[in-house]
Amino acid sequence: MEENLMEENLDVDFRKQSNAKEIWRRFKKNRSAMIGLVLFVFMFAACFIAPLFVPYTSVTRQDTKNKFAPPSVAHIAGTDNFGRDEMARILYGGRMTMSIGFIAAAISLLVGGSLGMMASFYDKADNLIMRFIDILASIPPILMALAIVSAMGTNLRNVVIAISISRMPAFCRVVRAAVMGIVDQEYIEAARAGGTGDFRILTKHVLPNCLGTIIVQTTMNMSLLMLAAASLSFIGMGVQPPAPEWGSMLSEAREYMRSAPSLMILPGLGIVLVTTQLNLIGDGLRDAFDPRLKT
Amino acid sequence: MIAKETTKEATKEQMLEVKDLFVEYQTDLETIKAVNGVSFSLAKGETLGLVGETGAGKTTTALALMRLLPERTGKIKQGDILINGSSVLKSSDKELMRLRGETIAMIFQDPMTSLNPVLTIGDQISESISLHNSQGRTAEQIQLRVDEVLNMVGIPSARKGEYPHQFSGGMRQRVVIAIAMACEPDLLIADEPTTALDVTIQAQVLMMIRNLRDRLGMSLIMITHDLGIVAQTCDNVAVMYAGELVEVGSARDIFKAAHHHPYTDGLFGSIPKLRERVKRLKPISGLMPDPTRLPTGCYFSPRCPLCADICRERKPDVFAKDGHKIKCHLRINADGYIKDEVRS
C-alpha cells in the first residue's frame, strides 16, 4: 500500500527536479562559489543597468576646470584627467569589458569546441584539425590578436574576433581531450548498440559528460579573454577613446599613477574582481554538474 | 534427398545465420586473428550458449553481429551474417542503426560502466524507445513504456529520475536489461551478463532474462564461461576456442554425449562436482595460443592431452552425429560421427 502511494506521488515531477533544480541545490552549498556569484551578479547588474541612471554623455563630457577632483556628491569616484566622471566611466567600461569577454568566449567555445569534438570523434579529421590548431597555438595569443586587429582595422568587432581566434586552440584542445576520454567508455558503445547515431551520441551522451570541463574552461577563459581585451586596449589597439574600457582606462591613468592612483586602482580592481568571481563560479559549477559528487 | 529437404526447411526459420565468419584486428604491429571461421545459426525463440575461456573470441563474434567492431582495427575478413534473411555486412548505416536496438539488443558485461553516469536511467531507457519509435508513441506514451519496462525488470518506476550511481550493481544490470528489452528485440545478446554480479543476484538476473525471453519469444545468445549458466538457460551450446567453434550441439549433447572435443572435456574437468569426490580439479594445462601466431594444425593441439601427430599437421574436419558437431581428428572412428561436408 505504502509503496504504491509513494510511487504515485513521486512519479510526476521527478525528472525536472533532478536536473536544473538539483544542480542549483548543489551549487548553493558551495560557499565560495555563491559569494562569487552574488558579487558577480551585483557588478554585472550595476554595469548593465547603469544606462538607466547615468546618461552616456556623462562618460564623455569633459570639464577641464574640474580635473582630478576628489570624490564628491556630484562625482562619487571623482573625475579623471579630462574632468570626466570616473564612476560613469567605470560602469560603462565594465559593460564593454564584460560584453567583449562573453561574446568572445562564446565564439571561441562554439568554433574551437566543435572543432575539438570533430577531431576526437572522427579519426580522419583529427590530424587535419589538430595540426591547424597547432599552427594557431604556435603564435603567442596577444601577438596574434594584435596582428589580426592591425590587419583588419581597429574596431570593436575586430577586437572580439581577434581575441576569440587567439583563444580558440585552448578550447579546441580541452574539448578534444575531454571527448576522447568519454568516447572510449562502454556506455558509448552501449548507446551505439542501441542504434544511436553519431550526432545524437555526441550531443546527448558525450557532451553532458564533458559539460563540467567545458564550463570550467569557459568561465576561466572568459576572464582571460577580458584580460586580453583589456591588454589590447592598454596598448592602444583595442577599444578606441573616448569609449571607456577598463584596459584603456588603466592605460590612460598610467601617467597619473602617482598623483591620482584611484584612476588606475578602480578599473584594475574591476578586472581583478570580475575574473576572480568568474573563476569561483566556474569551480562551483563544475562540482554542481557532476552527479557523482552528489551530496 | 529427404535429409536435404529438412535442412532447407530448418534454415527457413532461422532468424540468425553466421556463415564462415573471420574477424581480424589489424594494427601496425600485428594482426590478431580473433575469429577464425565461425558458423552457426539460431532459430526464433531459441537460446544459444557461447562458451569459452577469456580471449576465445566470444565478444568479438557478438560485436561483429551488430557491426560494432572498432572501426579502425576490427575487420570482418570473410563470411556473412544473415539476420532474418538479409545480410548485415551489406546494410547501410541507416539500416544498421535500425537493426541495433530494434532487431538485436545487447546486454553488456559490466553494468558499472555501460550506463551513462550523467543521464537518468529514465532518459537512457526512453532514448532507445524514441529512437525506434515505429508505433509513433507520443512523449507521454514513451514515459508509460519506460514505467512498464522498469516494472518488468523489478525496479519501481518512481526511480526513473535517478542516476546510475544511485543504484547497486544488480539493480544497474536490471536497468541495462530494461534498456535492451525496451524495444522488444528479436534477438538479445547477453555478453556475460552476470560476471560482475554476486551469486545471489546472478540467479535473480538469470531468472529474469529467462522469463523475459519466454514471455517475449526472443532468441537469445548467452555468452558466458560458466557452464552452470549454460545448463540453466540454453537450448544449444557452441564451445569456442581460439576463434573457432570446436564443438556445437544441444545442451544435452554437450553435457551428456559420450564423445566430446578434448577442450570441452577439459572445461568439465575443471569445475567441481557435487556428487563426486575428487581430490583435485583437473585444469587444462597451458594457455590459449597467441592469436597473432596461431599454431598450424589444430589450434588446441599444444594443450591437448590426446594430441597425435596429425593434429599438429592438418586442420581437423568437423564430424557430426544428429546435429552434434565436433571439430577434432580423433572423432574419425567414433561411433556414428561422420564427416560434415558442408563445414570442412
pLDDT in tens, B189-209: 998 888 877 888 888 888 888
Strand order in the sheet with B14-26: B31-43, B14-26, B74-83, B86-87
Q: Say if the Cβ atoms of A15 and B72 lie within 8 Å.
A: no
A292: confidence class by pLDDT, cuts 50, 70, 90: low
Q: Which residue of B has its CA nearest to A187?
A: B114
CATH fold of A33-47+83-293: MetI-like fold (1.10.3720)
Residue A257, C-alpha cell as written in the block: 599613477
Is residue A214 within 8 Å of A285, Cβ to Cβ?
no
Structural element, H or E, at residue A220: helix A207-234
pLDDT at B344 over 70: no
B5: confidence class by pLDDT, cuts 50, 70, 90: very low
Residue A23, C-beta contacts closer than 8 angstroms, at least 6 positions apart: A288, A289
Q: Say if the Cβ atoms of A187 and B115 lie within 8 Å.
A: yes
Q: Say if the Cβ atoms of A195 and B97 lie within 8 Å.
A: yes
Question: pLDDT (tens digit, 9 = 90+) per residue, A33-73?
Answer: 999 999 999 999 988 888 888 777 777 777 777 777 777 77
Higher-confidence position of A288 and A127 = A127
The string over B203-228, giving b where at least 16 C-beta atoms fall within 10 Å of a residue's C-beta and e elsewhere, is: eebbebbeebbeeeebbbbbbbbbbe
Q: Say if the Cβ atoms of B158 and A208 lie within 8 Å.
A: no
> What is the rounded average pLDDT for all residues in chain B?
85
Q: Which residue of A has its CA nearest to B108?
A: A190
Lowest mean pLDDT among A75-84, A235-244, A279-288: A75-84
Contacts of A185 in chain B (CB under 8 A): 113
Contacts of A10 in chain B (CB under 8 A): 158, 161
Query: Shortest CB distance from A194 goes to which of B100, B123, B147?
Result: B100
Q: Say if the Cβ atoms of B97 and A11 lie within 8 Å.
A: no
Residue A193, C-alpha cell as written in the block: 548498440
Q: Which residue of B has its CA nearest to A184?
A: B70
Distance, in Å, from the CA atom of B121 to the CA atom of A15, rounded to the nearest integer, reads: 10
Question: pLDDT (tens digit, 9 = 90+) per residue, B40-69?
Answer: 989 988 999 999 888 888 989 999 998 888
Lowest mean pLDDT among B12-16, B120-124, B196-200: B12-16
Give the pairing of strands B236-241 and B318-321: unpaired
Question: pLDDT (tens digit, 9 = 90+) per residue, B126-160?
Answer: 998 998 888 888 889 999 999 998 988 889 988 98
Residue range B2-256, CATH number: 3.40.50.300
- Rounded to the nearest 5 percent, the helix, strand and coil shares of chain A are 80, 0, 20
Q: Quote the crossing angle between the two packed helices A207-234 and A246-253, to the nearest 10°.
A: 30
Lowest mean pLDDT among A118-127, A171-180, A284-293, B197-206: A284-293
| Domain residue ranges of chain B, discontinuous segments joined by + | 2-256
pLDDT at A22: 76
Query: Shortest CB distance from B114 goes to which of A186, A196, A200?
Result: A186
Distance, in Å, from the CA atom of B76 to the CA atom of B110, rounded to the nearest integer, reads: 25
Instruction: State the amino acid at position B217 in one-letter form.
Output: G
pLDDT at B262 over 80: yes
Instruction: State the ipTM, two decimals.
Output: 0.77
pLDDT at A8 over 70: no
CA distances (Å), A180 to each of A41, A189, A197, in order? 35, 13, 17
Contacts of B71 in chain A (CB under 8 A): 123
How many pairs of residues across A and B have Cβ atoms under 8 Å apart? 102
B275: confidence class by pLDDT, cuts 50, 70, 90: confident
Annotate B162-193 with DSSP letters as a single string: S-GGGS-HHHHHHHHHHHHHTT--SEEEEEST
Q: Which residue of B has its CA nearest to A209?
A: B118
Q: Which residue of B has its CA nearest to A5?
A: B158
pLDDT at B179 over 50: yes
Query: Shortest CB distance from B127 goes to which of A185, A186, A196?
Result: A196
